[in-house]
Amino acid sequence: MADLNDMAWWQRTIACEVYPKSFLDMAGQGTGTIAGITAKLDYLQKLGIGAMWITPCYKSPMVDNGYDVQDYYAIDPSFGTMADMDELIACGKKRGIRIVMDLVFNHTSEECSWFVESKTSRDNSKADWYIWRDAREDGSAPTNWRSIFGGSAWEWCEERGQYYLHTFAKQQPDLNWECPEVRKALFDIANWWADKGVGGFRIDAITYIKKPPVFEDGPADGEDGLYPVHAATANTPGILDFLHEFKTAVRDGRDIFMVGEANGVAAEELDKWVGENGVFDMLFEFSHTHVPMGAAEIWCRPVTWKLTDLKRALAASQAATVSNGWYPAFFENHDQPRSTVNFFRCEGPLAEKAKVLGVVLLTTRGTPFIYQGEELGYGNAEWKSIDEFDDVQTKAQFDFAKGEGLSDAEALAACVRFSRDNARTPMQWDASEAAGFSTAKPWLPVHDDYVTCNVAAQEADPDSVLAWYRSLAKLRLGNDVFLAGDWHELMADDEQVMAFERTLGDVRAVTLANFSDEPVTYDADLVEGLELLAGSMGDATTGELRPLEAVVWG
Ligand code: GLC
């Protein structure tokens, strides 16, 4: 049992993720600004938010919306200025909301001055800062690795006469962490931001920083003859040495947290990554999001899944972090389709589905991360053609899917279902044009449903998803059992209901969420002696759940 008094501030709070480009535009330009985030701190405060991860807003050519950093010490002019960022940090602090910066340390933009120099020759001062290799004898790429966004992970550089490795887009060359100067430069950046008073860091794509000692071809798994770079390089032995160095240089002695984005770390390995002996405070691992999407690179192949698959993944992550570390609970982020579509196999109103997920997110053990708009319960957007998408990955995935033999229509359907742009449509503030996001044409189309599904409308409706989120946030923050209590799964084999109990001393709370569109019954003894703390449909009957009903008893 955790002791509330021993818990860090970030374990006792609710976190959110903001995608600045789509949050609120205060400059009338069609893309969001940092001042727009500052303007909405009250809104976030009402949601119980104490930590806000904002995706990268450093100077960037924006090939991957900021995940291609040109200058880590500058704010991209499209987002505003460093003064705007300082203001956000200061105003956030006043409201008890600490800012969490996104550190993109596996790669930079090709326009970063480090790469600009590195590519000029084999003997400049940054010659070893990236992963350079000679071509094979026939001039082809050094290995058959496929980048995460599709196509070869190698790009030929005429100037230097060598290939460089890019785990993501070709405009995002991978840094060489073996080079001590690279590590020092990165740790300096993190310390510079920590000194500004941010509350923590989310560290991007961290499992890829260590490359294997020998680069070899792997067995092709797609029609393109390529082998996933993820399989070749993720979580390479020795990676934790780099990360311990990082922790010592940046995290130690500061009241901040570090959450790593760690695709490729299994629940069983978590104890080496988080907690006392680990390197991070929390780790975003993706075992549960892989359930509906499939973990494989061949993402467009259909996946069949059951609720118990999702439950097992979540339970395994809970189990892995019980004795060690802490769990960041999430169903959405800027790389995932909307959860109301992703995690349900049945029909039914999106608002009810959003409430089902909301109850799990806000009563589970760990720090919940709410992604912007999740608290309103949107679905995916209504994409009609591949040209409407902006995302570099979606466009590459469309081509990849066609290479796998899918027709145009099938490839589009796969993108509509899974595209990251589903999470990136502008935040829906009100029913005015462009959903109150901007006075200019938004960079991505606003979701069709914004006229009814928006913050202003939901603030006026006590039964809205937003009202549900706010009341759950109050419930969580006002009851230690949700913050510090143990977590035990209930009804583990049930294919319709996700259920768990939280216990702290003799206090007990039970969450039951019906993920199906059918009424279900459960053993009423599970909630014997407890009172209804929250019901997504108002009242509730013990032993019964209506379709897509979620309840908390305690
Ligand atoms: C992470 C980010 C994603 C980005 C990628 C490359 O997965 O979340 O948005 O495209 O890293 O930086």
pLDDT in tens, 421-473: 999 999 999 999 999 999 999 999 999 999 999 999 999 999 999 999 999 99
Give pLDDT, residue 5. 84
Q: Quick check: is 117 catalytic? A: no
Q: What percent of the chain has pLDDT over 90?
A: 90
- Whole-number pLDDT of residue 301: 76
Asked whether 335 lines ligand 1 (CB < 6 A), one says yes
Task: Please name the residues in contact with 168: beta carbons below 8 A apart, sequence gap of 6 or more.
Answer: 64, 67, 107, 147, 148, 149, 205
How would you write 241-281 as a 3-class SS string?
A: HHHHHHHHHHHCCCCCEEEEECCCCCHHHHHHHECCCCCEC
pLDDT for residue 295: 65
Residue 350 pLDDT greater than 70, yes or no: yes
* CB neighbour list of residue 496: distance below 8 Å, 6 or more residues apart: 307, 514, 515, 516, 518, 520
Q: What is the per-residue pLDDT for 276?
A: 84
User: For position 271, what pLDDT does the model report?
Assistant: 81
- Which pLDDT score is estimated for 42? 98
Least Cα distance to 502 among 523, 479, 520 occurs for 479
The angle, 0 to 180 degrees and rounded to 10, between the axes of the packed helices 465-478 and 350-363 is 10
Which of 25, 84, 110, 261 is an active site residue? 261
User: How many Cα atoms sit within 13 Å of 505 on the Cβ side?
Assistant: 7
Please work out whether the CB of residue 104 comes within 6 Å of at least one atom of ligand 1. yes
Domain 484-553 = CATH 3.40.50.300: no
Spans of all domains in the chain: 10-108+183-217+233-473, 484-553
Q: Fold match between 10-108+183-217+233-473 and 484-553?
A: no
Decide: 72 and 395 in contact? Cβ < 8 Å. Answer: no
Residues 415/389, Cβ–Cβ less than 8 Å: yes
Nearest to 108 by CA among 168, 64, 156, 173: 173
**What average pLDDT does this structure show over 365-392?**
96
* 67 CB near ligand 1 (under 6 Å): yes
Q: What is the pLDDT of residues 300-347, one digit of tens each?
A: 777 889 999 999 999 999 998 887 789 999 999 999 999 999 999 999
Mean of all residue pLDDT scores within the chain: 96
Average pLDDT over residues 337-362: 97
For residue 303, what pLDDT is reported?
Answer: 84
CB of 168 within 6 A of ligand 1: the answer is yes
Residue type at position 36: G
pLDDT at 296: 60
Asked if residue 21 has pLDDT above 90, the reply is yes
| 261 a catalytic residue | yes
DSSP state of 491: S
Active-site residue identified among 64, 68, 174, 204 = 204
- Give the pLDDT confidence score for residue 302 in this predicted structure: 75
Cα-to-centroid distance, 118 and ligand 1 (Å): 23
Parallel, antiparallel or unpaired: strands 497-504 and 486-490: antiparallel
**Which DSSP category does 404 fall into?**
T
Q: What is the pLDDT of residues 169-212, one digit of tens each?
A: 999 999 999 999 999 999 999 999 999 999 999 999 999 999 99
Domain covering 10-108+183-217+233-473: architecture: Alpha-Beta Barrel (3.20)
Q: What is the pLDDT of residue 297?
A: 57
Question: Residues 6 or more apart from 380 whose CB is under 8 A from it?
Answer: 337, 338, 341, 416, 417, 419, 422
